[in-house]
């Protein structure tokens, strides 16, 4: 097994309440406290957010970068010239990068899976590329990621058992190759658990992977179209079997409800495009549910988006003004709604952490549901 390990990585549990836990993770660019939500910075920017505002106002502790997208644009040469992704994008806190696997496998008709890796044509120029486990580790090391993700296949919901079995076995081989491909001692590496929503497959892949010396583990293959309950059941089964001494990251999830439910089931880390993407579509997450700011009902509404929120948007602007900005396609609408949505997500996980440390997570969860869907907010 590998000679290279991450020398700066540290993980400790700060408290636990039922299955929910509060932990502190240390990586090359500092620490972050869980449960945590990681804003998505696909192309080297969390869309519509200045990095200093992300730190000072949103209190983001770690962001996610997309290996596939950054590899294509601006490309490794440009990022390498800057000294890495942190330096290029002006972000000095931790960064987690995905492996590109999820994006590559989304290119359904444009990719071919081989034992060695995946050949694909990119979605921009149509050029041919070949991603192998070794290649995606090399890319993530150029990015200078604090937490790299192993290269896996994420099969769509509903594949047959034979395919799932073959895919899982190949993913295991690929992930082992990722461990062996590391050269930097300041980049942690997480393994990714597949197996869909089938308990048997999940259990099998967890057993195969969790004996390997990854710094943490991600639950992959969810949020791909399955029902919420199937997701929750799979998460519950997974966290029970995953090692307690390493971080647990649920990839690509989710709604505020998803976060609360999965924190309650022992997940530490989340990422999702929902708060940022939906903000740009005028959908704001509030303590009372979703406010679709374009709706006529808000045209004369002088209240803030979310009475309980202390963000710049909620302390300075009315729903009526935000609606005006959104309808006039003003960039400021995206800025203000993104700021609010991310603040809401980070407040949510921060409040969950406090509740866990205070031993009142169940009450936190009850309060969360009790406030939903009032004052014009929708599910």
Q: Which residues are catalytic?
A: 98, 271
Residues 30, 74, 350, 376: which binds a copy of itself (CB under 8 A)?
74
Residue 355 to residues 22, 26, 39, 352, 360, Cα–Cα distance (Å): 9, 22, 22, 5, 5
Residues 105, 190, 321, 344: which binds a copy of itself (CB under 8 A)?
321
45 is an interface residue for a copy of itself by CB under 8 A? yes
What are the backbone dihedrals phi and psi of residue 371, each rounded to the nearest 5 degrees, phi first? -90, -5
78 is an interface residue for a copy of itself by CB under 8 A? yes
Q: Which residues contact 6 (CB under 8 A, 6 or more apart)?
A: 27, 28, 185, 186, 187, 188, 189, 215
Residues 332, 357, 375, 376: which binds a copy of itself (CB under 8 A)?
332
Q: What does the alpha-carbon distance between residue 262 and residue 239 come to, in Å, rounded to a whole number?
A: 10
Q: How far is the CB of 70 from a copy of itself (least distance, A)?
A: 9
Contact, 241 vs 266, CB < 8 A?
no
Residues 67, 238, 239, 334: which binds a copy of itself (CB under 8 A)?
334
Stretch that binds a copy of itself, among 46-54, 60-68, 199-207, 267-275 (CB under 8 A): 46-54
Q: What does the alpha-carbon distance between residue 337 and residue 358 come to, in Å, rounded to a whole number?
A: 31
Q: How far is the CB of 330 from a copy of itself (least distance, A)?
A: 5
Residues 16, 82, 165, 371: which binds a copy of itself (CB under 8 A)?
82
**The token pair that represents 37 in the structure block:** 């939500």
Contact, 310 vs 363, CB < 8 A?
no
Q: How far is the CB of 59 from a copy of itself (least distance, A)?
A: 17
77 is an interface residue for a copy of itself by CB under 8 A? yes
How long is the chain?
379
What are the backbone dihedrals phi and psi of residue 217, each rounded to the nearest 5 degrees, phi first? -135, 140
Q: How far is the CB of 333 from a copy of itself (least distance, A)?
A: 9
Residues 47-66 that bind a copy of itself (CB under 8 A): 47-52
230 is an interface residue for a copy of itself by CB under 8 A? no
What are the backbone dihedrals phi and psi of residue 120, each rounded to the nearest 5 degrees, phi first? -150, 160
Residues 300, 308, 366, 378: which binds a copy of itself (CB under 8 A)?
300
Q: Provide the mask over 115-134, with x wherever binding to a copy of itself is found by CB under 8 A and - wherever it is not.
A: --------------------
* Spatial CA neighbour of 274 closest among 40, 10, 24: 40
Stretch that binds a copy of itself, among 18-26, 81-89, 170-178, 261-269 (CB under 8 A): 81-89
90 is an interface residue for a copy of itself by CB under 8 A? yes
Stretch that binds a copy of itself, among 24-32, 284-292, 326-334, 359-367 (CB under 8 A): 326-334
Q: How far is the CB of 47 from a copy of itself (least distance, A)?
A: 6
Instruction: Provide the 3-class DSSP secondary structure of residue 303.
Output: coil
Q: How far is the CB of 56 from a copy of itself (least distance, A)?
A: 12
Stretch that binds a copy of itself, among 22-30, 58-66, 213-221, 313-321 (CB under 8 A): 313-321
Beta sheet of 20-27, edge-to-edge order: 10-17, 20-27, 30-34
Q: What does the alpha-carbon distance between residue 54 and residue 205 come to, in Å, rounded to a whole number?
A: 36
Place of tokens 């461990």: 179
204 is an interface residue for a copy of itself by CB under 8 A? no
12 is an interface residue for a copy of itself by CB under 8 A? no
**The token pair that represents 36 in the structure block:** 């945590």
Residues 265-294 that bind a copy of itself (CB under 8 A): 280
**The token pair that represents 111 in the structure block:** 């990719």
DSSP character string of 3-19: S---SS-EEEEEEEETT
84 is an interface residue for a copy of itself by CB under 8 A? no
105's enclosing H/E stretch is helix 101-106
Q: What does the alpha-carbon distance between residue 102 and residue 111 come to, in Å, rounded to a whole number?
A: 12
Residues 159, 169, 244, 299: which binds a copy of itself (CB under 8 A)?
299
43 is an interface residue for a copy of itself by CB under 8 A? yes
Contact, 76 vs 142, CB < 8 A?
yes
Residues contributing to the site for a copy of itself (CB under 8 A): 43-45, 47-52, 73-74, 77-78, 81-82, 88-90, 280, 299-300, 302, 312, 316-318, 320-321, 323-325, 327-328, 330-332, 334-336
């Amino acid at each position: 097994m590998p000679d290279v390990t991450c020398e700066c990585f540290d993980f400790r549990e700060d408290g636990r309440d039922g299955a929910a836990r509060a932990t502190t993770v240390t990586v090359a660019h500092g620490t972050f406290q869980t449960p945590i939500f990681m804003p998505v910075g696909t192309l080297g920017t969390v869309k519509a957010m200045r990095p200093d505002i992300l730190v000072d106002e949103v209190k983001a502790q770690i962001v996610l970068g997309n290996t596939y997208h950054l590899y294509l644009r601006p490309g490794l040469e440009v990022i390498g010239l800057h000294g890495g992704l942190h330096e290029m994008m002006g972000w000095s806190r931790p960064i987690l990068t995905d492996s590109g696997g999820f994006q590559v496998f989304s290119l359904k008709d444009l990719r071919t899976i081989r034992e060695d890796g995946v050949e694909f044509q990119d979605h921009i120029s149509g050029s041919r590329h070949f991603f192998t486990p070794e290649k995606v580790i090399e890319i993530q090391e150029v990015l200078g990621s604090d937490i790299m993700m192993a290269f896996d296949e994420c099969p769509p919901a509903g594949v047959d058992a034979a395919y799932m079995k073959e895919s899982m076995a190949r993913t295991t081989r690929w992930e082992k190759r990722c461990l062996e491909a590391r050269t930097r001692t300041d980049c942690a590496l997480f393994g990714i658990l597949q197996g869909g929503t089938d308990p048997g497959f999940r259990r099998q892949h967890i057993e195969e992977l969790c004996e390997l010396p990854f710094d943490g583990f991600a639950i992959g293959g969810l949020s791909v179209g399955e029902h919420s309950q199937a997701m929750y059941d799979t998460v519950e089964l997974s966290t029970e079997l995953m090692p307690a001494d390493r971080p647990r990251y649920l990839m690509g999830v989710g709604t505020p409800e998803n976060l609360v439910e999965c924190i309650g089931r022992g997940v530490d880390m989340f990422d999702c495009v929902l708060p940022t993407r939906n903000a740009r579509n005028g959908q704001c997450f509030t303590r009372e549910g979703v406010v679709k700011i374009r709706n006529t009902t808000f045209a004369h509404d002088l209240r803030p988006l979310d009475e309980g929120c202390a963000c710049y948007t909620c302390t300075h602007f009315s729903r009526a003004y935000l609606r005006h900005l959104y309808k006039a396609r003003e960039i400021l609408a995206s800025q203000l709604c993104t700021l609010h949505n991310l603040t809401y997500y980070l407040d949510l996980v921060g409040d969950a952490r406090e509740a866990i440390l205070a031993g009142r997570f169940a009450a936190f969860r009850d309060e969360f549901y009790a406030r939903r869907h009032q004052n014009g907010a929708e599910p």
